[in-house]
Homo-oligomer: A and B are copies of this chain.
């Protein structure tokens, strides 16, 4: 799992070495797809704070394997968490991960 807290000061404030640039790019790459942004949005704006994966396929208009793939990318980027309860998997956002990305973009 990529660790942003241990990595990157705001890029408008301090020098960024190549290794940290790779970690950061990997994090932003998770946000660089419209389907993943929609999934993240659906999960983040849900009233319960979590959404069953079964309710994420139809809204984004992609196949079940494709949605599963994108959820995996979001998971590996640390942006969402999966909680398996019986047959269903419930997804929720990891707020501090998005906060860390905000921090990296802060003004100098």
A contact residues vs B (CB 8 Å cutoff): 11-16, 18, 21-22, 24-25, 28-29, 31-38, 40-41, 44-45, 61, 93, 95, 98-99, 101-102, 105-108
Name the residue on B nearest A101 (C-beta): B105
Among A24, A41, A93, max chain B CB count under 10 A is at A41
* A21 CB contacts on chain B under 8 angstroms: 34-35, 37-38, 41
Q: Assess whether B25 is in contact with A32, with CB atoms less than 8 Å apart.
A: yes
Counted per complex, copies of this chain come to: 2
* A95 CB contacts on chain B under 8 angstroms: 12, 107
* A44 CB contacts on chain B under 8 angstroms: 11-12, 108
Name the residue on B nearest A14 (C-beta): B45
Selected contact of A15 from candidates B11, B31, B45, CB within 8 Å: B45
Selected contact of A41 from candidates B16, B41, B106, CB within 8 Å: B16
Q: Assess whether B31 is in contact with A16, with CB atoms less than 8 Å apart.
A: no
A101 to B11, CA, bound (A): 14
Selected contact of A11 from candidates B37, B105, B108, CB within 8 Å: B37
A33 to B23, CA, bound (A): 10
